[in-house]
Amino acid sequence: MRGLCVLGSTGSIGISTLDVVARCPDQYKIVALTANNNVDRLYEQCIRHRPGYVVVKSPVQASQLRERLNSVNGQTVEVLSGAAALAEVAALPEVHSVMAAIVGAAGLLPTLAAAKAGKRILLANKEALVMSGLLFMAELSRSGAELLPIDSEHNAIFQCMPANYRAGSRAKEARRILLTASGGPFLYKPLDELDRVTPEQACAHPNWVMGKKISVDSATMMNKGLEVIEASLLFNTPAEKIEVVIHRQSVIHSMVDYIDGTVLAQMGNPDMRIPIAHALAWPARFESGAEPLDVFAVGQLNFEPPDLTRFPCLHHAYRAVKVGGTMPAILNAANEMAVDSFLGGAIRFTDIPRIIEFVMDQSVAQPVDSIDTVLTADQQARQVAKGYIQRAIKT
């Protein structure tokens, strides 16, 4: 039985992970669960899955949760708090696999700690890889850690790669990666109406149930831009060999085009338990709980290229890959600031790509030679974005 640490257990990926694990109780033991502010849900997860460790954001939350758990007979849980504790539980000796599902830049340091400790990392956090890039991949190589992608698109690509493929290596026979995208809720919305889009509308994804931040990223297609950066690192492929394909049905999750003309595609219902189960069981397979795909109900599959006028965030992401260095981290920081401001009602939906472009224009990319370089670039970009947002609010 393998020990599992779930970073971000109360989010959608974390909840789906625990659902899959519960279906195969002889495969994994829950060693650690972590959450940001949803202490009530974390408490319920502790009662059901009985982890040895839990981590919350603040000491006050930790004290409250500790008191609640102590009142339950048979519960012996060590309750920790803070960013350092996240890294600590990700590197515990009894942990075999780490589900890295913390959203945003906050997931970088604990995911890197898991890599340094040589764990099997089930990567659902785009930002950790986008920010640290080759530094993260070099750490995987040094420690011998395994990396298995959880994003439905990257997991699909992984499944379409040759047998015994290892993340970070180059499959020479693969000519192109075709990265599918649903197009989000505004694929056909008139451009002159995007100024009036509300956070509620942006979070109403047509195919997937996701958190607010990633839902907005899907609406702007920044999520696909981050996935292009991620795919270039995971599969050691130049960004110009990665094509984004709008596929509204979200049935084909991505494809790999080989030099002999073969195109392999991974298909399935839009259910994140499928890639989660694949990564948890790899190289075997076990039950995910997802419904089998009914190809007759699907009926037809449609594909179209993305419109960069409608989705300028995708253009910004390709630009960040081309520049390299810390520019992907700068892109990510600006996007996080912009999305947070949009969700808070401070800026318009169409301001998001404008803020990102401004921050990138004002920034100079540096070589990624240390994690401190990455974190410095992240903080500087956030300050530039903050200034832009404050000026935009005043006007």
Residue 260 in tokens: 């002999």
| Chain-centroid distance, C-alpha 109 | 14
Q: Where are the domains of the chain?
A: 2-149, 324-395
Q: Tell me if 185 sits within 8 A of 204, measured CB to CB.
A: yes
Look at residues 42, 86, 126 and name the one whose alpha carbon lies nearest to residue 339.
Answer: 126
> How does pLDDT run across 258-310, given as a tens digit for each residue?
999 999 999 999 999 999 999 999 999 999 999 999 999 999 999 999 999 99
Cα 395 to Cα 387: distance, rounded to the nearest angstrom: 13
What integer pLDDT is reported at residue 205 of this predicted model? 74
Sequence-distant (6+) residues with CB within 8 A of 253 are 152, 153, 155, 156, 180, 265, 266, 267, 268, 275
| Distance (Å) of CA 338 to CA 107, 129, 131, 187, 292 | 18, 20, 17, 20, 38
Rounded percentage of the chain residues whose pLDDT exceeds 90:
85
CATH topology assigned to domain 2-149: Rossmann fold (3.40.50)
Backbone φ and ψ for 273, nearest 5 degrees, come out as -65, -20
| Chain-centroid distance, C-alpha 298 | 27
What integer pLDDT is reported at residue 209 of this predicted model? 66
Mean pLDDT of 168-197: 94
Cα 59 to Cα 349: distance, rounded to the nearest angstrom: 35
Judged against a pLDDT cut of 70, whether residue 96 lies above it is answered with yes
| Distance (Å) of CA 59 to CA 64, 66, 102 | 9, 10, 19
Cα 73 to Cα 19: distance, rounded to the nearest angstrom: 24
Angle at 154 between CA 354 and CA 18, to 5 degrees: 105
Judged against a pLDDT cut of 90, whether residue 76 lies above it is answered with no
Cα 301 to Cα 110: distance, rounded to the nearest angstrom: 39
- Please compute Rg for the chain using Cα positions: 20
> How does pLDDT run across 129-163, given as a tens digit for each residue?
888 888 899 999 999 999 999 999 999 999 999 98
Q: What is the number of other CB atoms lying within 10 angstroms of the CB of residue 201?
A: 13
* Buried residues in 325-349 as b, exposed as e (16+ CB within 10 A): bbbbbbbbbbbbbbbbbbbeeebbb
Mean pLDDT of 331-348: 95
Cα 199 to Cα 222: distance, rounded to the nearest angstrom: 16
* pLDDT bucket at 7, cuts 50 / 70 / 90: very high
Cα 75 to Cα 44: distance, rounded to the nearest angstrom: 12
Strands 28-34 and 97-100: unpaired
CA dihedral 36, 282, 205, 247 (to 10 degrees): 150
CATH assignment, 324-395: 1.10.1740.10
